[in-house]
Amino acid sequence: MTTTDLREQVRARYAKAALEFAGDETGACGCGEGGCCGGDVGARFGPELYEVGERRGMPAAAAGSSLGCGNPIAVGELREGDTVLDLGSGGGLDVLLSARRVGPTGVVYGLDMTDEMLELARRNADNARATNVHFLKGLIEDIPLPTASVDVVVSNCVVNLSTDKPAVFAEIARVLRSGGRIGIADVVAEDRLSPAERAERGSYVGCVAGALSEHEYREGLEEVGLEQVEVRFTHPVADGMHSAIVRARKPVA
C-alpha cells in the first residue's frame, strides 16, 4: 500500500468519526468497540484519559470526540501567554484545554487534514466561546506556520499515523521557538518489536502498525536538534505496545 493510500485511509476513518460525533449531541462516539475510538486492541483510548474536572465546562462534542491515547496537556508545561500548536487537533478538545491554560494573552492553533474534523472543532470552539483559537487545514508533515512561531507543540496519538515521521519531527523543530518544548501522547513500541511484529498487533489506521519504537522516537527527535528527550510508557495497548508521553525541548539559541 502506498503512502497516499495510507493517508487516505486515515483521512476517511477520522472523517467518518467526525460525522458520527457531529450527529450525536452527547458527543458519544458511534464507532463501537475496536473501531475508530479504541484502535484495534480494545485498549484505553479516548476521553476517559482526562480527569473529570479537566473536562468540566467543555462542550460535550469536544470532550466526547477525543480519540487520543493520553493527555498531552498534562505534561506540555503550558504557560499564560504561550503560543501552542496541536498536531492533528481532531474535534478540538486539546486545543480548548490549551486555550484555557494559556489565557486570553495566549494563542492556540489546531492543525488537521480532515475537513469534517475541522468543521466539528470550529463548532466546538464556538460553543465554548473560545476566542484565542484558530483551526488550520494542513498536514503535520508540512505545517502552515512560520519558522520559530510557537512555544509548545502538543499532539495526541497522531504522529504514529504519519507516513513520514522524519518530516514531522523536522517541522516540529522548525516551528518551535528557542527554548520551545513538546508534549506528545502517542503509541510507542518496545525496542524488541520489529515493524512486522508491530503490524501483527493492529492496523495502521488503528494507531498500532505505524508506531515507532522507543529508540526510533528518541533518535528521530534528537536528529532534528531537540534535547532532553523523554519517552515514558504510561499504559499498555497491546503486547509490547504502549501509550507513552514524549517530551523534549529545543535548545536555547
How far CA 150 is from CA of 177, 193, 202, 213, 249, in Å, comes to 6, 34, 34, 27, 12
The span from the CA of 72 to the CA of 50, in Å, is: 10
Q: pTM of the predicted model, to two decimals? A: 0.88
The span from the CA of 142 to the CA of 159, in Å, is: 13
How would you write the pLDDT of the chain (253 residues) with one tens digit per residue? Answer: 788 888 888 989 888 988 887 775 444 444 433 344 444 444 456 555 665 556 666 766 676 667 788 888 888 789 999 999 999 999 999 999 999 999 999 999 999 999 999 999 999 999 999 999 999 999 999 999 999 999 999 999 999 999 999 999 999 999 999 999 999 999 999 999 999 999 999 888 888 889 999 999 999 999 999 999 999 999 999 999 999 999 999 999 8
The answer to whether the CB of 24 falls within 8 A of the CB of 127 is: no
What residues make up the domain containing 232?
A: 3-249
The span from the CA of 253 to the CA of 248, in Å, is: 15
Q: Say which CATH number the domain at 65 has.
A: 3.40.50.150
Q: What pLDDT shows up at residue 41?
A: 42
Q: What pLDDT shows up at residue 134?
A: 98
| Total domains in the fold of the chain | 1
C-beta neighbour count of 195 within 10 angstroms:
14
Ranges of beta strands (E only) in the chain are: 83-87, 107-112, 133-137, 150-156, 176-189, 212-213, 227-238, 241-249
